[in-house]
Amino acid sequence: MQSSSKLFPVALVSAENRGDLSEDVYRLKPGNSPDRSVEIALTRLGNAGFANTSGVPVVLLHGSFSNRRFWYSPKCIGLGPYLARAGFDVWIAEMRGHGLSPRNQSYQSNCVGDYARYDLPAISDFIYEQNARPAHWIGHSLGGTTLAAALGGSYMEPSQIASVALCGSQVSRNYWLLKVPPLQWVGRFVLKRFEVLSGSRLKRGPEDEPIGL
């Protein structure tokens, strides 16, 4: 894997123009977690023909069962393209095993703690290396929860962060209650009943797009 970073191996997977926008896809291999097979896809959007580094960086983090397409469609419609056309340097991360990020060896053991402790700091460091300005971070659902965990654990460098916005994210200090066995059993029972009544696991929404290329 060729490196375009002094931090860790990074491959430029593709560099294309999507109409009036440029789309660069990087694949990071930080090697900073116990599972060293982890690779993280990071898409950068900007105005075609203009240097991305001229804009203030914005980082978008998707939610559960989602990928980069939550933020922009194949036709470049969505918040990501909107911000890029407004002059921002837009970065869209995809967590382990989501979208363009391949499944790591310990995929079934992936958890928010790993995203927060290892992946987000690597993403932040790489973006700051490419554009040395504090970034605005926006996290949706699980992306926001992961971001809150990374900040709460002091895993990210504060000087690299300009602001944080959490959308539809549940953050609580009382998460330990969910680990009590009776509550786990009740939760599973309710979910199974809902599945039977609705005929499907959940109603489909924008972030239910199949994970993959």
- pLDDT single digits (tens) 80-133: 999 999 999 999 999 998 999 999 999 999 999 999 999 999 999 999 999 999
- CB within 8 Å of 80: residues ≥ 6 apart: 45, 60, 68, 71, 72, 90, 92
By DSSP bridging, strand 161-167 and strand 89-94 are: unpaired
Q: Whole-angstrom Cα distance, residue 132 to residue 176?
A: 38
pLDDT, residue 22, reads: 93
The helix (H) or strand (E) run that includes residue 57 is: strand 57-61
- pLDDT band of 207, cuts 50, 70, 90: very low
Q: What is the pLDDT of residues 140-186, one digit of tens each?
A: 999 999 999 999 999 999 999 999 999 988 766 555 544 555 545 55
- At 58 the three-state DSSP class reads strand
Give residue 87's pLDDT.
93
Count of other CB atoms within 10 angstroms of residue 28: 24
Structure tokens at 35: 């599972």
Contact indicator for 46, 127 with CB cutoff of 8 Å: no
Nearest to 90 by CA among 136, 29, 134: 136
State how far the Cα of 93 lies from the Cα of 119, in Å rounded to an integer.
Answer: 10
Could you tell me which residues come within 8 angstroms of residue 189 by beta carbon, excluding any fewer than 6 positions away? none
Mean pLDDT of the chain: 83
Calculate what percentage of the chain has a pLDDT beyond 90: 65
**Phi and psi at residue 67, in whole multiples of 5°?**
-160, -165
Residue 140: closest CA among 52, 55, 68, 212: 68
Per-residue model confidence (pLDDT) at position 185: 54
Full-prediction pTM beyond 0.75? yes
Could you say which architecture CATH assigns to the domain 10-175? 3-Layer(aba) Sandwich (3.40)
